[in-house]
Chain A
């Protein structure tokens, strides 16, 4: 099924807004959507809103919801770029070593001081990415085949280190596990601000490179002969997406499947062209993460890691897409 891409992008935009409103109303205190809209209006124009409801909306639920949207967009667009540049449908933004690097940093953080977890996760994620890139450089260019293998190898190494630390040293096993599976429970407006800046870096860059990404699907040789500096495009897009993904992971942990599945859903609906996919993949990512996070924070067991929910939603979707492809 292929819809008109423009209409689909507009649809996704409104779907996101609807999802935000629904998610705002769900929680220990149920607030009807009508009440939310009324309070937003009263709050915005300073006409004496209900302060209890406003506090729940603006200081508890909204920061987290905004974070889900931003992180979903970052993972969606990074996943898209990774799959295209590697020409590998199983590409996800963690492929270059981001997740296992971050895991090592987080494990050390839990050992030393929980406050250091985000910083160390980011530093070690970048370390893993850096090592992968260094290994895979040839002739001053990133060799993508090498980079996949380097990323996998580095990931195994860092995972081993993380497992060692967690198994032998860390007392707060439940805390580590929660972090590894990802969660948005700690969201603040400060997080939102910084990740919004990150989104403002990666998103326009990928929109700018949409043409190059299309052409690079035809292979390096053809892309070069058509005038694309493939080495530069690969290095810039992969480095930026790894950096931004590391930043996202350092705040919310390792949330799987969003980066993998969002581009696939997008392609099924609007086709291959990045002209549309660079908008569609992040919006799909935002919606999946938002729905998943809303479920994760309102299960009867209390809050569970959102990574569990994204995998529960993502895996069947991916299997369905693969099944459809086989039938074609």
Chain B
């Protein structure tokens, strides 16, 4: 259970998150939406202990500031926005980095790594180097690295950005299998959001403006308000049948 109370993050004079209250239950899937600069990524960064914040973030009752990095990594894993990398780690080496918080003897954990790669569907890539992967393959490797951390929560920053339709579908399928994990996903991809279950959280200017399901009667109008556009313009995207 993530329990956020009065969370405020400032970058200099700019207030990125303004007195935010939020609960995320165990196993809850939460989609985080909001305009650019609304504070979505800052919320993820605060949860990961990457930015200084006011207010309190409690994990199962314990404030995150009282946890070491290693302890926090056992609770919350992170799937960053896809990146390009010059490094020639193999997929296996890369995914094994997720074991850091759990063990110092990562080289005896082959089975665990292969199981995770299978779960995400990229076992056959384990000897390829990460600088040669396609966007979809790398995204799945990043997800595998977070998955092997064996945490209760995974935070994902735009997991379907820059992916083609097929890769998006595959990544979404992988994510939808994480039923026992709490997941917070930042996304702008309306098609993807449409496919995902769970609640939607809308934030704007560092404040929460809506939390509820996509079936909520106000959902569409709140989205239109938040993004300052008309329902008719987003209507075509939302509930666009993907399959």
- Nearest chain B CB to A196's CB is how many angstroms away? 27
- Nearest chain B CB to A219's CB is how many angstroms away? 8
Indicate the size class of the contact surface on chain B. Answer: 20 to 34
- Nearest chain A CB to B127's CB is how many angstroms away? 12
Contact A227 B70 (CB under 8 A): yes
Interface centre among A139, A218, A226 (most CB of B within 10 A): A226
Instruction: Answer whether residue B27 sits at the interface, using C-beta atoms and an 8 A cutoff.
Output: no
Contact B48 A217 (CB under 8 A): no
Distance in angstroms between the alpha carbons of A229 and B88 in the assembled complex: 23
Q: How many A-B residue pairs have CB under 8 A?
A: 60
| In-complex Cβ contact of A226 among B52, B83, B88, B149 (8 A) | B149
Given contacts A272-B87, A273-B93, contact A226 B80 (CB under 8 A): no
A-side contacts of B87, CB under 8 Å: 217-218, 272
A-side contacts of B52, CB under 8 Å: 139
A212-232 interface code vs B (CB 8 A; 1 in, 0 out): 101101110110111111000
Contact B50 A229 (CB under 8 A): no
Distance in angstroms between the alpha carbons of A320 and B49 in the assembled complex: 43
Contact A226 B98 (CB under 8 A): yes
Given contacts A214-B97, A222-B80, A271-B88, contact A229 B106 (CB under 8 A): no
Instruction: Answer whether residue A211 sits at the interface, using C-beta atoms and an 8 A cutoff.
Output: yes
Which of A227-281 touch B at CB < 8 Å?
Answer: 227-229, 271-273
Distance in angstroms between the alpha carbons of A19 and B241 in the assembled complex: 70
A-side contacts of B80, CB under 8 Å: 221-222, 225
B-side contacts of A212, CB under 8 Å: 100
| In-complex Cβ contact of B97 among A215, A224, A229 (8 A) | A215
Instruction: Answer whether residue B68 sits at the interface, using C-beta atoms and an 8 A cutoff.
Output: yes
Contact B72 A227 (CB under 8 A): yes
Instruction: Answer whether residue B77 sits at the interface, using C-beta atoms and an 8 A cutoff.
Output: yes
B-side contacts of A222, CB under 8 Å: 78, 80
Given contacts A211-B104, A217-B87, A272-B88, contact A226 B93 (CB under 8 A): no
Given contacts A211-B106, A229-B68, A273-B93, contact A221 B50 (CB under 8 A): yes
- Nearest chain B CB to A202's CB is how many angstroms away? 20
Instruction: Answer whether residue B101 sits at the interface, using C-beta atoms and an 8 A cutoff.
Output: yes
- Nearest chain B CB to A144's CB is how many angstroms away? 16
Instruction: Answer whether residue B69 sits at the interface, using C-beta atoms and an 8 A cutoff.
Output: yes
- Nearest chain A CB to B101's CB is how many angstroms away? 3
Distance in angstroms between the alpha carbons of A271 and B89 in the assembled complex: 7
Contact B106 A273 (CB under 8 A): no
Which partner residue on chain A sits nearest B85 by CB separation? Answer: A218
Contact B88 A227 (CB under 8 A): no
Instruction: Answer whether residue B73 sits at the interface, using C-beta atoms and an 8 A cutoff.
Output: yes
Instruction: Answer whether residue B74 sits at the interface, using C-beta atoms and an 8 A cutoff.
Output: yes
B-side contacts of A272, CB under 8 Å: 87-89
Given contacts A226-B73, A272-B87, A273-B89, contact A215 B100 (CB under 8 A): yes
Distance in angstroms between the alpha carbons of A226 and B74 in the assembled complex: 9
Distance in angstroms between the alpha carbons of A227 and B89 in the assembled complex: 19
Contact B78 A225 (CB under 8 A): yes
Which of A193-214 touch B at CB < 8 Å?
Answer: 211-212, 214
Distance in angstroms between the alpha carbons of A226 and B71 in the assembled complex: 10
B-side contacts of A228, CB under 8 Å: 69, 100
B-side contacts of A271, CB under 8 Å: 88-89
- Nearest chain A CB to B233's CB is how many angstroms away? 34
B-side contacts of A229, CB under 8 Å: 68-70
Which partner residue on chain B sits nearest A208 by CB separation? Answer: B104
A-side contacts of B85, CB under 8 Å: 218
Contact A227 B104 (CB under 8 A): no
Which partner residue on chain B sits nearest A2 by CB separation? Answer: B88
Distance in angstroms between the alpha carbons of A212 and B49 in the assembled complex: 18
B-side contacts of A211, CB under 8 Å: 100, 104, 106
Which partner residue on chain A sits nearest B101 by CB separation? Answer: A227
- Nearest chain B CB to A280's CB is how many angstroms away? 14
B-side contacts of A226, CB under 8 Å: 73, 78, 97-98, 100-101, 145, 149
B-side contacts of A219, CB under 8 Å: 83
A residues neighboring B (CB under 8 Å): 139, 211-212, 214-215, 217-219, 221-222, 224-229, 271-273
- 3 closest Cβ pairs, A-B complex: A227-B73, A227-B101, A225-B78
Q: Please, could you name 28 A-B residue pairs with CB atoms under 8 Å apart, sorted by A?
A: A139-B52, A212-B100, A214-B89, A214-B93, A214-B97, A217-B87, A218-B87, A221-B45, A221-B48, A221-B50, A222-B80, A225-B48, A225-B78, A225-B80, A226-B78, A226-B98, A226-B100, A226-B101, A227-B70, A227-B73, A227-B74, A227-B100, A227-B101, A228-B69, A228-B100, A229-B69, A271-B89, A273-B89
Given contacts A218-B85, A226-B73, A227-B101, 10 further A-B contacts (CB under 8 A): A215-B97, A219-B83, A222-B78, A224-B49, A224-B69, A225-B73, A227-B72, A228-B69, A228-B100, A271-B89
